[in-house]
Amino acid sequence: MVNVAILGFGTVGSGVAEVLTKNGGLIDQRVDDLVRLKYILDVRDFPNSPYADCFVKDFSVIEQDPEVDIVVETIGGATIALDFTTRALKAGKSVVTSNKELVATHGYDLLQLAREHGVSYLFEASVGGGIPILRPLTSCLAANELTQITGILNGTTNYILTRMIKAGLTFDQALKEAQENGYAEKDPTADVDGHDACRKICILAALAFGQHVYPQQVPTEGIRNVTLEDVAYADSKGYKIKLLGRCLRQPEGKVCAFVAPHLVSDENPLAGVEDVFNAIAVTGNAIGDVMFYGRGAGKLPTASAVVADVIDIAKDRKKDHHNAWGPGAPALVVSPDILSSRWYVRADASMDQARLACGEIQPLARAGAPAGEAAFLTGQMTYPQIRDCLKGMAVSSLFRVLD
Ligand code: NDP
Ligand code: HSE
């Protein structure tokens, strides 16, 4: 018998309970043992829940029960979740989580702790919701030197952008829908301002390049500055605006990682990723390009990834399941300023002024554009170069083009 305890009975935690119960027969078959939900810990009461008998309020009940093998942490955040995870690992219990904030900020230490105690710390659901990405990265692609990862990593912002463009919703209406669907973080500014995507690119970079990348090392911009005017200009030349998390291997073992809105050509499969879907494009020196696509948030898709980790541990509790990586370092992460790209610019200027400032440009048009507004694509240049070109111009929007 393998006993599981869930911490946090919210969107993901309740999905985990549902999948463990609904698919119990086939899970037992796959594990070749009985996998049972023994406890659920939450601050709230759920008297009418079908799992009412499992609820406890005191974590030490779980911590001190030698029958609990696997703790599923779906509380979120990096405070109480860190305390419970640390205590569970020290008590010899494996921990499975969907909590990317915790993995991105304390993953290295928690992986070390798990190893010291001969247990596992797994977090497939922390990136891409239900998309299998972390295990493929470290097992199916293990033969490659991975060179870069580019992903639509946040379901909420992709949903908001899609609903604003396709259904004409306001930003607030679209965000409300994302919250009602259970996609958004408890504090949705983490989605909107790019911090959630930042945490995910940190985890991907750590797994791909082998050293911990901390969120504070990663320049991050969200979708607040993306307007419907920008969307229309981009569309006129066959581009979509997407919030991308990117990490690129750099010489001497360094890493470049950042999160920002980009113009993505309609010819790139990332441009067609809509609603809550995420997609992660990985480049390796043997495979070339490979892309992972699926639902990036939501109750059951995320629970699917969490329960897969539970099954993996339950199948072989003695196996070393570790996704190990090395410690981080202040000089590890280099600024995206070194990367050259084309740029999308919208500014209060004439096209002649834009040409004078930026050289050869590709003008963009949209219906109803006011006189004195110029939108255009530049040639290849770094951020310091474009910043110098635009000095003295009133710039409303500046985004990279993904080439
Ligand atoms: P929810 O807020 O829906 O669930 C968290 C639950 O934990 C709530 O019921 C909350 O109660 C409870 N809780 C809070 N504090 C405690 C505590 N001290 N002890 C016990 N329970 C507590 O969050 P989600 O399920 O959406 O997300 C959980 C984690 O999974 C987060 O890290 C999130 O980033 C991640 N994630 C979420 C996805 C999604 O689609 N929602 C997808 C992938 C990952 P209360 O509400 O009263 O605070
Ligand atoms: N808030 C996150 C998102 C949940 O919208 O992508 C999935 O990690």
Give per-residue pLDDT as tens, 280-306.
999 999 999 999 999 999 999 999 999
233 CB near ligand 1 (under 6 Å): no
Give yes or no for residue 323 having a pLDDT over 90: no
Atom of ligand 1 nearest to the CA of 305: 43
pLDDT at 168 over 70: yes
Per-residue confidence at 5, pLDDT binned at 50, 70, 90? very high
C-alpha 286/C-alpha 143 separation (Å) is 8
CA distance 22 to 19: 5
Report the alpha-carbon distance of residue 267 to residue 269 in Å, rounded: 6
Mutate to test the pocket of ligand 2, among 162, 196, 198 (most ligand atoms within 8 A of CB): 196
**Closest C-alpha among 64, 63, 46 to residue 55:** 46
Query: What was the pLDDT predicted at 324?
Result: 85
Read off the pLDDT band of 319 (50, 70, 90).
Answer: confident
pLDDT at 318: 74
Distance (angstroms) between ligand 2 centre and the Cα of 361 equals 36
Region 116-143 average pLDDT: 97
Ligand showing the shortest atom-to-Cα distance for residue 79: 1
Q: Which residues line ligand 2 (CB under 6 A)?
A: 129, 154-156, 183-185, 191, 196, 296-297
73 lines ligand 1 (CB under 6 A): no
The rounded Å distance from CA 186 to ligand 1 centre is 7
Q: What does the alpha-carbon distance between residue 212 and residue 257 come to, in Å, rounded to a whole number?
A: 12
Percent of the chain beyond pLDDT 90?
97
Does the beta carbon of 88 lie inside 6 Å of ligand 1?
no
Task: Look at residue 322 in the predicted model and tell me its pLDDT.
Answer: 67
CB distance 245 to ligand 1 below 6 Å: no
Residue 309 CA to residue 10 CA, distance in Å, equals: 19
How distant, in Å, are the alpha carbons of 82, 101, 166, 236, 316 from that of 178?
27, 19, 15, 28, 37
Ligand that lies nearest to the alpha carbon of residue 99, given by its number in the listed order: 1
Concerning whether 166 is annotated as a catalytic residue, the answer is no
Q: What is the pLDDT of residue 118?
A: 94
Give the distance (Å) from ligand 1 centre to CA of residue 276.
Answer: 18
**Taking Cα atoms as reference points, which of 12, 186, 6 lies closest to residue 95?**
6
Region at 105 (left for phi over 0; alpha for psi -120 to 50; beta for the rest)? alpha
| DSSP label of 342 | -
* Total-model pTM: 0.98
- Using the predicted structure, report yes or no on whether residue 200 has a pLDDT greater than 70: yes
Q: What is the mean pLDDT of the chain?
A: 97
Which residue in 200, 237, 242, 299 is the catalytic one? Answer: 200
Rg, the chain, Cα only: 23
Closest atom of ligand 1 relative to the 101 alpha carbon = 32
pLDDT digits (tens, 9 = 90+) for 39-66: 999 999 999 999 999 999 999 999 999 9
Give per-residue pLDDT as tens, 335-373. 999 999 999 999 999 999 999 999 999 999 999 999 999
Summarize pLDDT for 79-127 with one digit per residue, the tens: 999 999 999 999 999 999 999 999 999 999 999 999 999 999 999 999 9
Question: Which ligand approaches the C-alpha of residue 72 most closely?
Answer: 1
Give the H/E segment covering residue 71.
strand 68-73
Q: 25: buried, middle or exposed (CB in 10 Å: 19+, 13-18, 0-12)?
A: exposed
pLDDT band, very low/low/confident/very high, at 145 (cuts 50, 70, 90):
very high
